[in-house]
Amino acid sequence: MLTGLLAASHLMPMELVPVQARAHAEHAGFSDLSVYVTDVQGRVLRLLTGGGVGGPPSTARAADAEVPVEGTLAGRSYQHSEIVPVAGQNGLQWWVPMLDGTERLGLLRLTTPYDDDMARQDAESLASLLALLIVTKRDHSDSYARLVRSAPMNVAAEMQWHLMPPRTYADGRVVISAAMEPAYQISGDAFDYAMDGPVVHLSIFDAMGHDTAAGLAANLAVGACRNSRRQGSDLVGISQRVEELLIEQFSHHSYVTGILADLDTATGELTWVNRGHHPPLVIRAGRWPSQPACPPAHPMGTDLGLPVTLCREQLEPGDRLVLYTDGITEARRRPGSNEFGLERFTDFLIRRHADGLPVPETLRRLIQAVMDHHDGHLGDDATILLCEWLGPSAERTREAAEHTGLTGQDQ
């Protein structure tokens, strides 16, 4: 089943994935296979029909085209990344989570003749392969992009979502997860992370303003940061290079605040520079939030000439680093109303962690809570980038799998 699908995948447009997947799944005894992908905000699951929204009609009933995440069995499978059985017309059906790495793409729905571990493993393998397949094709598929949007996107959001890495990553050393709202109307927020041997680079940026220029400034900041670190610059140098390029392009009319951090996963040493941004939050082994002291330098692009300080903090396994933008803690509905607040934000993270909720799902709920607090209208971008340090070994993945809700993982 899998080798046939893999061989066929090289010359398969996104539009043919559902049909081909269904045909190959039948060799393994799974019938009625449907592929569902989640929308940008993780609120609904949409049937991949082969034509995107407005594409050729599928054989599915209209009611099956979209399933909400809240309050459904499909949603439970998505939120907890576990197989959820449902009684189907033709026998036992499963919702099977479809993950690329730890990024939740959506679900498969299929009818299975057997209800045993072997069948579950087969279903999970099929879901894994389909996830990889979809990820390789989605970045150049307009029909996919249209399918996963529930509202029109502005140009800045179009640029940022293409720029940033997947919202979840994990290996044996770290679990990284991010969330950003308003997903369709981003202006100047962006995050980035990358692995470089034992070092994990993490950065978050907030460009001033609420327009396309803010989006351009954020793009420039991420591009300059990547370019500079790939040429071997240290954090101070990277932030100075970002500043130079911002001044070159925007001549003091735009600035970007940010945190640039490196976590050495071999030792747990965290180093960072603060360029006019909210200080990072460190949550010690699930409790005791603190904001380690670190004098901020001026925002990148303001050219105020303050010294840029490299700060250090020793982390212990299980400690979590949280980078965020002011939209999370300080956004207000209107002048005078209450902000969501750092305390409530921290409390939410600690409680959900104690509940054992997977990190990506915690952030999805957190950002939903921030949105709800503001009646669904954020005045500013709100972004969180969370990184938990598990330990030095990339191969010991049991904990990473638990924290991301990944199931069926060989340990």
Residue 275 interacts with another protein (CB under 8 A): yes or no: yes
Within 227-266, which residues bind another protein (CB under 8 A)?
252-255, 257
The residue from 215, 279, 360, 405 that contacts another protein (CB under 8 A) is: 279
Cβ distance to another protein smaller for residue 82 or 330? 330
Q: Give which of 134, 159, 136, 151 is closest to 37, Cα–Cα.
A: 134
| Number of C-beta neighbours around residue 322 at 10 A | 22
Going residue by residue from 149 to 188, which x/- string records binding to another protein, judged by CB under 8 A? Answer: ----------------------------------------
d(CA 137, CA 210): 31
Contact call for residues 176 and 165 (beta carbons, < 8 A): no
Helices (H), 101-211: 117-138, 142-147, 155-163
Residue 166 has φ and ψ, to the nearest 5°, of: -55, 155
Within 317-336, which residues bind another protein (CB under 8 A)?
326, 330, 332, 334-336
Amino acid residing at 334: R
| Number of C-beta neighbours around residue 295 at 10 A | 10
Going residue by residue from 380 to 399, which x/- string records binding to another protein, judged by CB under 8 A? Answer: x-------------------
Cβ distance to another protein smaller for residue 22 or 332? 332
Residue 215 interacts with another protein (CB under 8 A): yes or no: no
The residue from 237, 289, 317, 391 that contacts another protein (CB under 8 A) is: 289
CB 273, min distance to another protein, A = 11
Within 340-359, which residues bind another protein (CB under 8 A)?
346
Cis peptide bond upstream of 18, omega within 30: no
CB 221, min distance to another protein, A = 14
The residue from 120, 298, 352, 365 that contacts another protein (CB under 8 A) is: 298
Contact call for residues 278 and 329 (beta carbons, < 8 A): yes
Helix axes 17-27, 2-9, angle to 10 degrees: 160
Residue 296 interacts with another protein (CB under 8 A): yes or no: yes
CB 306, min distance to another protein, A = 6
d(CA 22, CA 116): 21
* Piece in contact with another protein (CB under 8 A), picked from 16-24, 62-70, 227-235, 272-280: 272-280
Binding residue count for another protein, defined by CB under 8 A: 45
Within 40-69, which residues bind another protein (CB under 8 A)?
none
Q: Give which of 340, 330, 335, 332 is closest to 370, Cα–Cα.
A: 340
d(CA 310, CA 271): 7
Contact call for residues 34 and 108 (beta carbons, < 8 A): yes
Binding site residues, another protein, CB under 8 A: 206, 208-210, 252-255, 257, 274-279, 281, 284-285, 287-299, 302, 304, 306, 316, 326, 330, 332, 334-336, 346, 377, 379-380
